[in-house]
Every structure is written in C-alpha cells, then in structure tokens.
A and B are shown apart, each in its own frame.
Chain A
Amino acid sequence: DIQMTQSPSSLSASVGDRVTITCRASQDISNYLAWFQQKPGKAPKSLIYAASSLQSGVPSKFSGSGSGTDFTLTISNLQPEDFATYYCQHYNSYPLTFGQGTRLEIK
C-alpha cells in the first residue's frame, strides 16, 4: 500500500501570510494527487486534483505542485476562512490513502 505523509502536522500562521504544506508518497504516484480542506463539523472540500489543477470555484490563492513522490500545497494571503485542516490523498492505485492531515491555526 502507498503511504502518504504530510508535514507539518500543525502550523500556526498569521492573516496575510503564505504557507506551504508538504505531502510525500511512499512510491511514485505520478500526478494522481488531490488536496482537500476541511473545517470543523463540515464535509471535506476539494481544492486541487491531478497535483496542480484547481477545482472549479476554488480561488487562485490555492496552488499545488509536484509529481512522483513529493507534492506541495501553497496558500497565499491567508484569510480567517482559510484556517482549517488540509489533507492530501493519492488515487494512483487501490487502496486509496489520505495523509494524516495538517491543521492550520491562527497565530
């Protein structure tokens, strides 16, 4: 099975900051990677698919990059509504797996 490791597990940042979250796959997954945002008590929301493609309606402040085993999600100009938990997921092969999540908190 492919393991997905996110770092950091938690992150404190200020409004207006730019942050980067990393996701590493235990083997090559090409670009079969998605990123999700989840706020407390809510369903996850898709942000990025195919490692770097923005889902319809998602603001361009979110960007993804990477291929193979190393991927990043970057969020620029942080706003209060961006403070949430972020997950990566590979969909290269079954079983699909998620990273453990990165909790983004307000400093």
Chain B
Amino acid sequence: EVQLLESGGGLVQPGGSLRLSCAASGFTFSDYDMNWVRQAPGRGLEWVSTISTTGGGTYYADSVKGRFTISRDNSKNTLYLQMNSLRAEDTAIYYCARRTGGDYWGQGALVTVSS
C-alpha cells in the first residue's frame, strides 16, 4: 500500500525557517517524481515544487522561488522541503504527492507563520 506521511509542520515566526519531511513507503520511491502542494486556509490548491527522480531537476512556483528548497534522499525514501524566510502568506497545509499529476497524496502538515 502506497503511503506518504508528512511531518515537521508547526508554528513559526515571520522570517523563520522550517523543514518538512515526507516519508514514503509501499512503492519504489526512486522511480517517481515527487511534489509539494499547499492549501491556505479556506483556499484552493497551489502547486509549490517538484523534484525529479534523481533530484537533478527541481522546479518551483514563483511565490516560493529563492526561499524554499526541495530535496530527496532516495536511500531513506524521504522527500524534504526546506522553507526559509517564511511569510504569513505561507501559512497552509502542505501536502506531498507522488508523480506529476499526483496519484497519491499524504495527509498534510500544517504550517502556521505568525508572531
């Protein structure tokens, strides 16, 4: 059974940093592109970032470019999102999703940016 489990969310002050993790199981992690998608409270879905199978290709939404870094450790079956210079508008539930087109999603991790 495919499982994606996000962790690392929490409350952080504006300007602060946070690292999200997504632990994958039930499939060959290194065979799939992986994504981060977020959803601000009461809002729609927003694509954040994608990483290729080897990590050699990374892509970002303009809203997070230069502040967020996506990475993966295929030996640990884990996807990461390093978030720096956080802003109030980054407050959202962050989901990891398998493959472009997102066939499986995690349950989400809540990130709250507030003083």
Q: How far is it, in angstroms, between the C-alpha of A13 and the C-alpha of B72 when the chains are bound?
A: 43
> Which of B46, B101, B107 is close to A34, meaning CB atoms less than 8 Å apart?
B101
Contact of B95 among A43, A55, A96 (CB under 8 A): A43
Q: Chain A 88-107 against B: per-residue CB contact (8 Å), 1 yes, 0 no?
A: 01010011111111000000
Q: Contact at A94–B105, with CB atoms within 8 Å?
A: no
- Please tell me if the beta carbons of B59 and A46 are within 8 angstroms of each other in the complex: no
Which residues of chain A have C-beta atoms less than 8 A from B104's C-beta?
Answer: 46
- Known contacts A43-B108, A87-B45, A101-B44; is-contact A95 B62 (Cβ 8 Å): yes
Residues of A within 8 A of B103 (CB): 46, 49, 55
Residues of B within 8 A of A95 (CB): 47, 59-62
Assuming the contacts A46-B102, A46-B104, A55-B103, asked whether A36 and B45 have C-beta atoms less than 8 A apart, the reply is yes
| Complex Cα spacing A7 to B79, Å | 34
* Closest partner residue, chain B, to A44 (CB atom): B105
Please give, as numbers and ranges, the residues of chain A lying within 8 Å of B102 by CB-CB distance. 34, 36, 44, 46, 89
Neighbouring B residues of A50 by C-beta, 8 Å? 101
Are A100 and B50 CB-contacts (below 8 A) given A34-B101, A34-B102, A55-B103?
no
Q: A89 CA to B39 CA in the complex, in Å?
A: 14
| A35–B101 alpha-carbon span in the complex (Å) | 9
- In chain B, residues 65-115, which have Cβ atoms closer than 8 Å to a Cβ of chain A? 95, 97, 100-108
How far is A50 from B100 in the complex, measured between Cα atoms in Å? 11
- B contact residues vs A (CB 8 Å cutoff): 35, 37, 44-47, 50, 59-62, 95, 97, 100-108
5 nearest CB pairs, A to B = A96-B47, A94-B59, A43-B105, A98-B45, A91-B100
A-to-B contact residues, CB < 8 Å: 32, 34, 36, 38, 43-46, 49-50, 55, 87, 89, 91, 94-101
Query: Could you list 18 A-B pairs, sorted by A, with CB under 8 Å?
Result: A32-B101, A34-B101, A38-B45, A43-B106, A43-B108, A44-B37, A44-B97, A44-B105, A55-B103, A87-B44, A87-B45, A89-B45, A89-B101, A91-B100, A94-B59, A96-B50, A97-B47, A98-B47
